[in-house]
């Protein structure tokens, strides 16, 4: 039986660190109910962070070791730019468990304890992300919620918001978009006062995506406009390390994806084409995903040749990754191309699908 995912108030003690380590080590394959997610998010909105009590047993942890954990977390996040979840999730979970063990067994000051909790929260967010990319959505959701508990204990409101909004993004894609809107809205509202403009832009991107998946055009457009405003306000400011990847191109791509989802092919194509023509080919998973939405937009507009060209590019890229999300997008494109199945371009595309499957 795993420990509780309830948020901690009062003092954060050695017993709480043991419980958190148990949550990291066990329970990742147990289903996470919508009710437990909602309960935890509501608790996060109203519960004050605990006071971290100095740990007085175990080997002493100093600033250098905590910095090493923080650097390792940042390195793993950047590795995710180039490796898909199937390749990376075991390494990230291993690092997460090692950090949880350090939190449980070591001696450290209150300040260092908070930094360790924050690092654990970041690793839990990354673990959820790469596990989701590998198609292991139950485990991903578990780690997102464990991360919220750690970030809350660390007093890092923005990090907790990031965990909740990343979970909202997963729910948008593989669950209920309406539930995702509630989660993304909660993250945005709960962290607004302590989040930097760039972080607020990230949270609103995920909210816009949830609205788009729900078919709510007006709310999507309004939220995308707010994303641009927040992003522009934060260009010259410092931000948490974990939002380093959000740049102007990524903001444009998310807008294009939202419009593709809403069926506004012209706007989607205009936004996606220019950015993707110069996108880093080494970021294979992202480019495959983004090309799939460009293909979908071209298909919506009736540009079958352009749709198949982008779909084929997405297919070729996906064949070199271990990303379940990319696989799912290729499968979605195949379904959408099925009504054109007798067209020579689509016949060739399906033949290439079979060739790559045989090679795999």
56 pLDDT above the threshold of 60: no
53: pLDDT confidence band, cut at 50, 70 and 90? Answer: low
What lies within 8 Å, CB to CB, of 60 at 6+ separation is 106, 107, 108
**pLDDT at 165 (0 to 100):** 98
157: pLDDT confidence band, cut at 50, 70 and 90? Answer: very high
* Nearest one of 217, 228, 206, 17 to 105, comparing CA atoms: 17
**pLDDT at 1 (0 to 100):** 35
φ, ψ of residue 11 in degrees (nearest 5): -100, 140
**pLDDT at 28 (0 to 100):** 67
Q: Among all chains, which residue has been given the structure tokens 């993304």?
A: 184
27: pLDDT confidence band, cut at 50, 70 and 90? Answer: low
Convert 88-150 into a string of H (helix), E (strand) and C (coil).
HHHHHHHHHHHHHHHHHHCEECHHHHHHHHHHHHHHHHHHHHHHHHCCCHHHHHHHHHHHHHH
**pLDDT at 290 (0 to 100):** 98
Q: Residue 293 has which token pair?
A: 């939405």
Q: Answer whether 7's CB lies under 8 Å from 46's CB.
A: no
d(CA 302, CA 305): 9
The residues spanned by each domain of the chain are 1-155, 263-360
The rounded mean pLDDT for the chain is 92
Q: Where is average pLDDT lowest: 39-53, 95-109, 129-143?
A: 39-53
pLDDT in tens, 314-357: 999 999 999 999 999 999 999 999 999 999 999 999 999 999 99
Q: Which residue has the higher pLDDT, 30 or 170?
A: 170
13 pLDDT above the threshold of 90: no
38 pLDDT above the threshold of 70: yes
Mean pLDDT score, 46-55: 66
Mean pLDDT score, 228-235: 96
264 pLDDT above the threshold of 60: yes
37: pLDDT confidence band, cut at 50, 70 and 90? Answer: confident
pTM: predicted TM-score of the whole model, two decimal places: 0.92
31 pLDDT above the threshold of 60: yes
φ, ψ of residue 60 in degrees (nearest 5): -75, 130
2: pLDDT confidence band, cut at 50, 70 and 90? Answer: very low
């Amino acid at each position: 039986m795993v420990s509780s995912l309830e948020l901690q108030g009062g003092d954060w003690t050695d017993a709480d660190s043991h419980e958190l380590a148990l949550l990291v080590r066990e329970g990742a394959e147990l289903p996470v109910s919508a009710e437990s997610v909602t309960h935890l998010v509501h608790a996060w909105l109203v519960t004050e962070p605990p006071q971290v009590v100095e740990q007085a047993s175990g080997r002493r942890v100093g600033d250098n070791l905590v910095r090493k954990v923080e650097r390792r977390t940042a390195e793993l996040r950047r590795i995710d730019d180039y490796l898909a979840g199937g390749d990376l999730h075991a390494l990230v979970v291993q690092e997460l468990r090692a950090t949880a063990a350090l939190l449980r067994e070591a001696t450290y000051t209150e300040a260092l304890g908070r930094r360790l909790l924050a690092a654990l929260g970041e690793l839990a967010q990354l673990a959820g992300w790469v596990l989701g990319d590998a198609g292991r959505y139950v485990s991903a959701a578990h780690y997102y919620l464990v991360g919220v508990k750690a970030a809350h204990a660390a007093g890092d409101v923005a990090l907790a918001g990031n965990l909740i909004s990343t979970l909202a993004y997963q729910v948008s894609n593989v669950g209920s978009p309406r539930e995702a809107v509630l989660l993304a809205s909660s993250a945005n509202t709960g962290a607004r006062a302590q989040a930097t403009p760039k972080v607020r832009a990230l949270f609103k991107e995920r909210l816009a995506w949830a609205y788009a998946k729900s078919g709510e055009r007006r709310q999507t457009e309004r939220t995308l406009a707010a994303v641009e405003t927040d992003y522009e306000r934060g260009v010259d400011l410092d931000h948490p390390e974990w939002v380093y990847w959000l740049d102007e191109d990524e903001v444009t791509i998310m807008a294009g994806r939202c419009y593709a989802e809403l069926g506004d092919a012209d706007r989607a194509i205009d936004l996606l084409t220019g950015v993707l023509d110069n996108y880093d080919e080494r970021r294979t998973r992202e480019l495959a995903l983004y090309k799939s939405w460009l293909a979908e937009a071209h298909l919506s507009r009736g540009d079958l040749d352009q749709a198949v060209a982008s779909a084929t590019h997405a297919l070729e890229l996906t064949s070199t990754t271990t990303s379940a999300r990319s696989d799912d997008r290729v499968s979605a494109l195949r379904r959408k191309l099925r009504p054109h199945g007798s067209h020579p371009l689509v016949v060739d595309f399906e033949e290439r699908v079979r060739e790559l499957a045989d090679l795999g």
